Structure 1
Amino acid sequence: MASEEEIRKIEKQVLEEYKEIEFRVRERVPEYDKTYLNCQHLIEKLEQCYSDQSLIRTHLPCVKEERAVQQCTNQATCPKEFFALQECMNHDRRKCYPLTVTLKSCLTNVAHKVKDVTKEELKLLREREAKQN
């Protein structure tokens, strides 16, 4: 059987581990949410621009909106969707609208996964803490 000192040492270690993970979790979600919401907003503006352009049948590019999306979107988050949209921007912009929709839905899925992982991590931590007490 473990001594009192060994038990306290283990409890202290578990508590420190819990605090570190909780800190990482709390820091990650708001930051991701902020980035995600900002990108969603910019992609919606780009979508609007593309649909307006197609309505008036001109080939005026939505350069300002495209640049904003390119700068905000984390390419590693949805690489396939991001690069498809970027390729389209270099060619026929009139066909880009559906790609903005695809990128937006990919970012939404990723945001939900980040939140699910975070909730799961916290749940496991609380269960482990409950077993310790």
Structure 2
Amino acid sequence: MKRIGVLMILIAMIFVYGCGEKSTSVQETGLDLRFANCFIFAVWVEIDGNYQGTFSSERSGFIPLKAGSHTLYARSNMELADTGEYYCWTTDFTVSKNKITTVLLDCEGHTCIDTTITSTSAR
């Protein structure tokens, strides 16, 4: 019975005082890429001229980046109704250390005739 009593006291002390360990977390640094007013399609993304991958216009995507100023170029992999036009964006943004910068790419009014990013440059 003494053991159970001691165990109960220890459990109560942990609840009252906590474990005493301080935990720290490391905040990611990078870009949260989001889309608005878009159909669902894939988007090829370059940052500072380096291919970052293919992202979906359907959901946000995280790209880890170093803090500093960057230039984003993105283009849909989908041609708009055989017009030779695509959705495309170019924007400058800044990422702060231990912060996530959100960039919203809106499909309305962002069409271009451009083939800078092709499936062959997608590594």
Superposition TM-score, scaled by structure 2 size: 0.26
- Higher helix fraction (1 or 2): 1
Structure with bigger strand share is 2
TM-score by length of 1: 0.25
Bigger radius of gyration among the two: 2
